[in-house]
Amino acid sequence: MLVATMGVNNRIADNVEFAKHVSSALGKFHSKDWGEMDNEDIKANDWADTNSGRILAAYGSGEDKIWIIREADNSATTILFPSEY
């Protein structure tokens, strides 16, 4: 299940460029590009991807920065602003 927080959903509805950013980030996430993460976090995500762990990826900066989190059991992938965590 793919979900977005209310903040992200509202911004997608109001801003076409932000909607494109989210779409691009999801494409990267699904191709295992974890975005703007340090090497240690990238390695942790790579390990989690093959060992059923939780993944946190970050894309963009400033007001456009979003996180995408996939739960370890694959029950949900959530798109959110860091301030909504």
- pLDDT of amino acid 2: 97
pTM: 0.95
Read off the pLDDT of residues 28-84 as tens digits, 9 standing for 90 and up: 999 999 999 999 999 999 999 999 999 999 999 999 999 999 999 999 999 999 999
Specify the pLDDT at position 31. Answer: 98
Q: What is the pLDDT of residue 12?
A: 98
**Looking at residue 58, what is its pLDDT?**
98
Q: Which domain holds residue 38?
A: 2-84
15 falls in which pLDDT band (50, 70, 90)?
Answer: very high
The count of domains in the chain is 1
Q: In what order do the strands lie in the sheet with 77-80?
A: 2-4, 77-80, 66-70, 55-59
> DSSP class of residue 72?
T
CB under 8 Å to 74, separation ≥6 — which residues?
52
pLDDT of amino acid 84: 97
Distance CA 84, CA 27 (A): 22
